[in-house]
Amino acid sequence: MSKGKMAAQCAHAAILCFQKAQCSANKETQEILELWLASGQPKIVLRVGGHNDLITLQEEAEKLGILAVIVYDAGHTQLDAGTATVLGIGPDKNSKINKLVSHLNLL
Amino acid sequence: MSKGKMAAQCAHAAILCFQKAQCSANKETQEILELWLASGQPKIVLRVGGHNDLITLQEEAEKLGILAVIVYDAGHTQLDAGTATVLGIGPDKNSKINKLVSHLNLL
C-alpha cells in the first residue's frame, strides 16, 4: 500500500470506531468517548505482522470488552476486494489498550 | 513525520470533518453525509507543497461552501505544538471537491 492508502485505511478505522462508540448504549463507553474527545482524540498507529494478527487482536479486544473494528478494503484501487487492512481499537482506557498492544511497534 | 504519524493525523482530520458534518444544521450536508456513509465513506489522501497550501485550500473550500478542517498537532511527539499537518475536506459532492483538489497528486 502507498502511504496515502495506508493513511486512508487508518482514517476509515478511526471513523468506524468513533461511530461504534457513538452508537453504544453502554454508559462507560459514552464516558470514555467524551474523555477521549476532550483530550484531543489521541490516536497511535502500530504495525502488525500480517492479516492473522489483526484477527487475533480483534478477538482478544472483544474478550477484554474493548471496541475493535476491522477495515475491509473495497478493492477499487491497490488491493483485492475484502482485504483486511487495519484494526481500529478503542477508544478505551490506556491501561486496557496497553495490555492488548504494548508488544507492537509504531508504524 | 513517520508513516504512522501521518496516518494518525489523517485519521484526526477524518473525524473532525465527520463531526462537523454531523453537527451541521444544513439539510444538504446531512444528505451528503448519509450518501457518503452509504457508499463506504470514500477517502483519498493527497499531497500538498507545504503549510501555505493548506491555508489557501481551506479558504478556497470555505468560499465554495465545502467543509474544511485543519489539524493542528498537539506537539507531544514528533512536531512542534500547533503545527498544521493535514487539511480535511468534505464530505461533499465529487464535482465540488474535484474543482478544489484535482491539481494535487496522491500521497
Chain-chain contact of A45 with B4 (C-beta, under 8 angstroms): yes
Please tell me whether residue B69 adopts helix, strand or coil conformation. Answer: strand
- Looking at the complex, does the CB of residue A104 fall below 8 Å from at least one CB of chain B? no
At residue A49, does pLDDT exceed 90? Answer: yes
The C-alpha cell at A24 is: 453504544
Which CATH number fits the domain that encloses residue B24?
3.40.1490.10
Buried b (16+ CB within 10 A) or exposed e, B18-38: bbbbeeeeeeebeebbeebee
| pLDDT number for residue B75 | 84
Residue A3 has its nearest CB partner, among B6, B40, B43, at: B6
Q: How far is Cα of residue A31 from the mean position of the Cα atoms in its chain?
A: 18
At residue A74, does pLDDT exceed 90? Answer: no
Question: Residue B7 region, left (φ>0) first, then alpha (ψ -120 to 50), else beta?
Answer: alpha
Residue A7 has its nearest CB partner, among B6, B40, B74, at: B6
Pick from A96, A88, A95: nearest CA to A44? A88
Q: Which residues of A touch B12 (CB under 8 A)?
A: 14, 41, 43
Q: Sign of the C-alpha dihedral, residues A62, A59, A3, A80? A: negative
Instruction: Identify whether the C-beta of residue A12 lies closer than 8 Å to the C-beta of residue A24.
Output: no
What pLDDT band is residue A79 in, cutting at 50, 70 and 90? confident
Q: Which residues of A touch B74 (CB under 8 A)?
A: 40
Number of domains chain B contains: 1
| pLDDT number for residue B102 | 96
Residue B11 has its nearest CB partner, among A5, A10, A40, at: A10
Give the structural domain span for B97: 3-106
Q: What is the pLDDT of residues B34-56, one digit of tens each?
A: 999 999 999 999 999 999 999 99
- Looking at the complex, does the CB of residue B5 fall below 8 Å from at least one CB of chain A? yes
Q: In which element (H, E) is residue A84 found?
A: strand A84-89
- Looking at the complex, does the CB of residue A21 fall below 8 Å from at least one CB of chain B? no
Chain-chain contact of B4 with A44 (C-beta, under 8 angstroms): yes
Is the ipTM higher than 0.90? The answer is yes
What pLDDT band is residue A43 in, cutting at 50, 70 and 90? very high
| Sheet strands (E) in chain B | 46-47, 68-72, 84-89, 105-106
Cα distance from N-terminal residue to C-terminal residue, chain A: 13
Pick from A6, A87, A99: nearest CA to A52? A87
Cα distance from N-terminal residue to C-terminal residue, chain B: 13
Q: Sign of the C-alpha dihedral, residues A104, B81, B71, B47? A: negative
